[in-house]
Structure 1
Amino acid sequence: MVRVSRRRNLVAWWLLAVLVAAGLASLGFWQLDRMHQKQAMLDAVQQVLVQRSPRPLASAADAARARDYDWAAGGGSFVDAPPVLLDNQQRDERPGVRVYRVFQPSAPHATPLLVELGWLPLPGDRTLPPVPRPQGGLEVAGLLAPPPSHGIMAAVATPQAGGPLLATGLDTAALGAQLGQPSLAPRVLKLDPDLPLGYARDLDVLPNTLPPEQHLGYAVQWFALALAVLVITLLLTLRKRKPERTGP
C-alpha cells in the first residue's frame, strides 16, 4: 500500500510538473512568435524606407492595407480640430507626448488622416505643451503606418483644458467623432523627420515597446524555467527512489 501511494504521488507530481513546464514553454513560443512578427515588421519598414516610392495620401484610407507600411506624399492642410497628445511616450529617457493633428489631403474625396508631428517633453507637473496648428496649404511626406500599439490598455482620449485630447492610445474609429470628422483613415502618417515642420521625431515603428531581441531573451528565460521544472522534478524522483539504509 505504501508503494502504491508513493507511485500515485509521483505520478501526480509529474503530471503537475509537465503541466507547469508546458505552460512556461507556451509562453516561450509566444515570445518567439512576437519576435518573428516584429522582425518581419522592421524588415518591411526598412524596405519601404530604402525605396521611398511615394503613394498618394489617400491610400491611408485603404482598409486592405490597414496593417501595412507605405511611403506617402501629397498636399493638403491641417484641419481646425483639437490636437491629440499620445501620453506615456519616452524619448532619450524623458517622459513626454507624441503630437497628432488631423490632415485633410487636397485630393477630391480623400479621407482625413492623423499626422504625427513629433514628440514634446512633459514637465514634472505634467502641464501639456501648446501645439499650434500649422497654417495654410502644405506638402507633407512620411511613413504610413498602423497607429502605435496601446497593449492591453484601452485607447481612451480625454479632453483637456485648452482643447487638446490626451490619449492612452489611438483608436482612429473613435477619435473621428471626438475630432468632428465623419471618419479618419485607419493608418497614420509618421512625418518625414527632414521636413521643417513639427517637433523632434523619427520613423521608429516600435517606440516604447520591446524590440525583437528582447522577445528572444524572454523566450530563452521561459524555456529555461520549463526545463528547470522538469530537472528538479526528476532529481526529487530519483532522491525518493533511493533505498533507505537500515542498520550500521
Structure 2
Amino acid sequence: MNGLRRPAWWSVLLTLAGTLLFLRLGMWQLHRADEKEEILRRYATAATAPVRDFAAVAEAPPKDAFARVQVRGEYLVDRIYLLDNPKHDQRGGVEVYAPFRIHGGEHLVLIDLGFLPGNGTDQTPQLPPLPGDERTLQGLYLPPPGVGYQMGGNALAKQTRWPKTTIYLDVKQVAADLGSPLYPLVLALDADPASIYVREHTLDFSAMPPARHRAYAFQWFTFAVAAVVIFLILHRRRKPSRPKSTDSP
C-alpha cells in the first residue's frame, strides 16, 4: 500500500459496496443461466418419458419436471381459442387451443392443438373440425404461455363469435369465458404427421436465453473490476514534481 494515498472512508465504503453489488449481480445472472439450462434439459427428456395418468399428475404437478400424460374425454367442439401471432420458425400465425372435458371429471383442461402459420387470423388456414366422440389424448402437461400487460381488459369477454382470438392466453379468463373450472396447466399434444398443426413445442427463452445471462454476468464482473481499478488509480501516490531550475544571467 506504499504506492497509495490514504483514502477517505467514504470512498472505501462506496467502492466496496459497488464491487459487492456488481459481483452479486454477476453471480445472479450465472445462476439464472444454470436454471434455464436445467429447465431446457428437463424439457428435452420429457418427450421420451413414460406416459403417466393425468389424474395423478393434475393433483400434484411435478415442480422439477415436465410430465407426459394421457387423458380421456371429449372436446368442446364449438369452443376454440386462437393465440394470435406466436412465432414459429420466424413465421407468424396462431396457436390453437380447445377445451377438453375429462371423462368422469368436472374440470376442463385446455388442449394445445398446435401452430398454424399465417399472417394473423384473417390468413390462417381453415380450422379442421374437432372430433365429437370420446377419445384419448397424449402429450406434455405444461405451463400456459406467459401473460403480459393487457391493454383494454379482457378481450375474450367482448367477443361473441367463435373461434375467439387473444394475444395473451390467460387461463383464468378462459375459465370465466367458458363458465367452467380449468386446470392451471395446458396439455400440448404430441406430434402427429397426419395433422395440419405444427407441434414442435419449445420453451420460449428467446428474449433471455442462457447465453445472454452469461454475457450480462461478464458485464457485471467487468464493472466490479473497473470499480477497483478506478479506486486504485484515484488513490495512487503522485511523484512530487521537481522545481524548475532557474539560471542566473
The interval holding the TM-score normalised by the smaller chain is: 0.7 to 0.9
Match of 1:69 in 2: 66
Compared CA separation, residues 161 and 174, structure 1 to 2 (3 A) = closer
C-alpha contact (below 8 Å) 1:66/1:146 kept by paired residues:
no
Compared CA separation, residues 228 and 198, structure 1 to 2 (3 A) = farther
Give the count of matched residue pairs: 232
Q: TM-score, normalised by structure 2?
A: 0.76
Match of 1:104 in 2: 101
C-alpha contact (below 8 Å) 2:84/2:165 kept by paired residues:
no
Compared CA separation, residues 109 and 162, structure 1 to 2 (3 A) = closer
Q: Which has the larger Rg? A: 2
Partner deviation per Cα, 1:72-100 (whole Å, 9 max, x = no partner): 12332221464333345222223343222
Match of 1:3 in 2: none
Match of 1:113 in 2: 109
C-alpha contact (below 8 Å) 1:157/1:165 kept by paired residues:
no
CA RMSD of aligned residues (A): 3.1
Compared CA separation, residues 171 and 60, structure 1 to 2 (3 A) = farther
1:195 positional shift: 5.6
Paired residue secondary structure (1:190): strand
The structure that is helix-richer by fraction is 1
Distance 2:73 2:13 in 1: 64
Match of 1:191 in 2: 189
Q: Where do residues 1-248 of structure 1 align in structure 2 (5 Å cutoff)?
A: 7-8=7-8, 11-51=9-49, 53-59=50-56, 61-65=58-62, 68-80=65-77, 82-87=79-84, 89-105=86-102, 107-109=103-105, 111-123=107-119, 127=122, 129=124, 131=127, 134-137=130-133, 138-150=135-147, 153-154=148-149, 157-159=154-156, 160=159, 162-163=161-162, 164-168=164-168, 170-181=169-180, 183-194=181-192, 196-197=194-195, 199-206=197-204, 208-238=206-236, 241-248=237-244
**Range with greater deviation from structure 2 (35-44 or 154-163):** 154-163
Query: Which amino acid is the alignment partner of residue 166 of structure 2?
Result: L
Q: TM-score, normalised by structure 1?
A: 0.76
Identity level (%) = 30
Paired residue secondary structure (1:243): coil
Distance 1:207 1:195 in 2: 26
Distance 2:84 2:238 in 1: 60
Paired residue secondary structure (2:48): helix
C-alpha contact (below 8 Å) 1:68/1:145 kept by paired residues:
no
